[in-house]
A and B are shown apart, each in its own frame.
Chain A
Amino acid sequence: MDKLDVKTLDTLLSTFGPSGNEDRVREFIKSEIKDHVDELHVDALGNLIARKKGNGKKIMLAGHMDQIGLMITYIDKEGFLRFTNIGGISPTISLSQRVVFQNGTVGVIGSEHLESVKDLKLDKMFIDIGANSREEAEKIVSIGDVCGYYDAPVIDDHKVVSPSLDDRIGCYIMMETIKNLKDSPNDLYFVFTVQEELGLRGARTAAYRVEPDIGIAYDVTMTGDTPKARTMALKMGEGFAIKAKDNSMISHPGLKNYLVQEAKNQNINYQIEVLEFGGTDSGAIHLSKEGVPSSVLSIPTRYIHSTCEMVSTKDVIGAINYSTNLLTTDFNF
């Protein structure tokens, strides 16, 4: 394939799904893939496990459905909402952003008057939904309600810009791979996980159930290609990345080498990722039960955990084509 399915990707990116509230994302993914898989299961935490049967290796592919978000902790007399973070929310990035709740209510994030921007902390900030009193606000939202960044996705031939690319882009690559795959010799479990942003929680319980021979996560990763960026060898647009390490895992050397060799065989652009912080679902999968050889396919992404996360269209298409071919190989390493 050489084009993105803009409609599907746009819907996936725009669907509400902060950690712990992934229902709508799950329902959308389910409706898209149900005719292309042999089994579908939703576990106790809400992970969607889609199986494409085969006689070969049992491979668990994981991409997380959840996005970072905010949860209301208090509603004041004037109708302003105080909040706590769900996952890695930056105060500076959040200021003046729009947020959307599950019921469609849109609010903006404001701050108390501060002498210095250094004093900007989440507990000095609030969400304004335009309500004039607590009573008015409580008719629209309640304590415990969650919201996520709200901004329209931009999708063109060069780039995709949107909140929640982390990790809907991973989900999208998996969905397209499922649709492209005709027959696979392997027993494939595509797991769309929950609560990754809160500490890889969904992947942990899903891996326990699946008991895979091999684990591969799909997620975003940082780049080092913007002006005066933190040193990192990855560039947006130079291909997807095969992970060597992050803070949650070191890739299984045999599997990593196999993934590299396969990229060479396919004559496709790839990069090697060394991430000095953070982690993703493979961190939980590789330590499940007696251990699972695992790695990660990453999409180099600028401005992660912001409203304008950015990836290269080419890298995404490359990852889909690579995955489709990869999963028909025998994984003997």
Chain B
Amino acid sequence: MLLKDLCELKGVAGNEKIVRDTIKKDLESAGKKVTIDRMGNLIVSNGVKSDIHLGVTAHMDEVGLMVKGIDDSGLIRFTNVGGLDPRILISKVVEIGDEDVPGVIGAKPIHMQKAAERKKAFAMDQLYIDIGTGSKKETENSVSPGDYINFISPYQPFGNHKVKAKALDNRIGCFMVLELIKMDLPIEITGIFTVQEELGLRGSQVAANNLEADLVLVLEGTTCGDLTEVEEHLKTTELGKGPAISLMDRTSIYQRKLVDKLTEVADQHHIPWQYRRNSFGGNDAGRFQHSKEGTPCLSVATPCRYIHSPVSVMDERDFEGMKKLLTVFIEEISKGGIL
């Protein structure tokens, strides 16, 4: 399974079936037994038994849109599923529903806009999707309210070790969990692929109630604001400086002694790393850490520019560094002394 294959799958929050089925098939062909809970989370064990039990988790869902109505003209009105800036939506190509009906996101053209309108970005309810039909009836033949809408954006390497894709948040994490489960690491690992993270950590809220682990590693693609006009002290992460290790976010504060052990292992193995240097955003750690009697968590991520857009950009070296760091860290845990 390649990261490319995972990123190009459709999987807007609540509609993760294709991603889940693909992951399931991959794991089953590697001889792993998979269970799926009532929310749609996929749980898998690496089959090893040990005193220390590790959880590794990533969410399968990505941000996207949903059809909320159809105008008499046949144009489609939509709402967001997960956090999306409406300013990035215009002129994007999308596909709608199970039949992958192609469409483009449009708005009132500039020469029709009043002077005041030109000064303000369009809000979501001023945008529409055009699927090339001429009437409500015609649109209704292929699209109905409630249909999920996915961005179309092929995975594309470019520039200096960079990759552009949709859904890097969080197929990066899914890729890592798959790898860690399939590797022969000498420690009991449960992999949890969650649903609906982008809607408020909903899948993990349920999955966390079914997990008894000593530590959960929450794997992510995370925000990166390393661009010119952002002041140095406001940059959360920077591309090319290695995997980002969280100290605190909106949903968790991470135990410093565990964070320090992770960074020590990175240094010992000469793997570049960086702190995730801001406290906004949240992830599934917020649920795993605070469910039942509580489970310590660590969060590791590959930085992604333009996250929550069809053109997220990562640096392959950060991605490779993350994979290596997770592998050596888990090997160190299995030797004892970390937990």
Chain B, Cβ-Cβ closest to A198: B253
Q: Which residues A178-215 have CB closer than 8 A to chain B?
A: 195, 198, 201, 204-205, 208-209
User: By the criterion CB–CB under 8 Å, are A71 and B293 in contact?
Assistant: no
The answer to the question of A20 belonging to the interface, with a C-beta cut-off of 8 Å to chain B, is yes
Tell yes or no: A45 within 8 A of B by CB.
Answer: yes
In the assembled complex, the Cα of A82 lies from the Cα of B247 at a distance in Å of 15
Give chain B nearest CB distance to A45 CB in angstroms.
Answer: 4
Q: Is B17 an interface residue (CB 8 A)?
A: no
Binds A, one of B68-76, B126-134, B274-282: B274-282
Pick from B235, B254, B255 the residue with the most CB of A within 10 Å.
B255
Residue among B232, B235, B255, B294 with max Cβ neighbours from chain A (10 Å): B294
* CB nearest neighbor in B for A83: B233
Answer yes or no: B259 CB below 8 A from chain A CBs: yes
Contact across chains for A73 and B278 when beta carbons are under 8 A apart? yes
Cβ-defined contact, B295 with A44, below 8 A:
yes
Residues of A within 8 A of B289 (CB): 45, 201
Query: Is A14 an interface residue, CB under 8 A from the partner?
Result: no
| Chain A positions 37 through 79: 1 when the CB is less than 8 Å from some CB of chain B, otherwise 0 | 0000001110000000000000000000000000101101000
Q: Which residues on the A side are within 8 Å of B256 (C-beta)?
A: 20-21, 144
Residues of chain B in range 274-300 having any CB-CB distance to chain A below 8 Å: 275, 277-279, 289-296
Q: Select A43's contact among B232, B248, B291, B293, beta carbons within 8 Å.
A: B293
Q: Is the CB of B253 within 8 A of A74?
A: no
Residue A15, interface by CB 8 Å: no
Q: Which label, helix, strand, loop or mixed, suits the secondary structure of the B interface?
A: loop
Question: CB-CB < 8 A to A21: which residues of B?
Answer: 256
Give the CA-CA distance A82 to B232 in the complex, in Å.
Answer: 10
Distance in Å: Cβ of B250 to nearest Cβ of chain A: 9
CB of A144 within 8 A of CB of B247, answer yes
Given contacts A19-B253, A76-B232, A123-B233, contact A84 B278 (CB under 8 A): yes
Interface pair A143/B253, CB less than 8 Å apart: no
Contacts of B292 in A (CB 8 A): 205, 208
Given contacts A73-B233, A86-B248, A143-B247, 19 further A-B contacts (CB under 8 A): A19-B253, A20-B248, A20-B253, A21-B256, A43-B294, A45-B289, A45-B290, A73-B277, A74-B232, A74-B277, A84-B248, A86-B253, A123-B234, A144-B275, A195-B253, A198-B253, A205-B293, A208-B291, A208-B293
Task: Show the binding face of B for A, using Cβ within 8 Å.
Answer: 232-235, 247-248, 253-256, 259, 275, 277-279, 289-296
Q: Which residues of A contact B (CB under 8 A)?
A: 19-21, 43-45, 71, 73-74, 76, 82, 84-86, 123, 143-144, 195, 198, 201, 204-205, 208-209
In the A-B complex, the 8 residue pairs with the closest CB atoms:
A205-B294, A20-B253, A82-B233, A74-B233, A45-B294, A44-B294, A144-B247, A84-B279
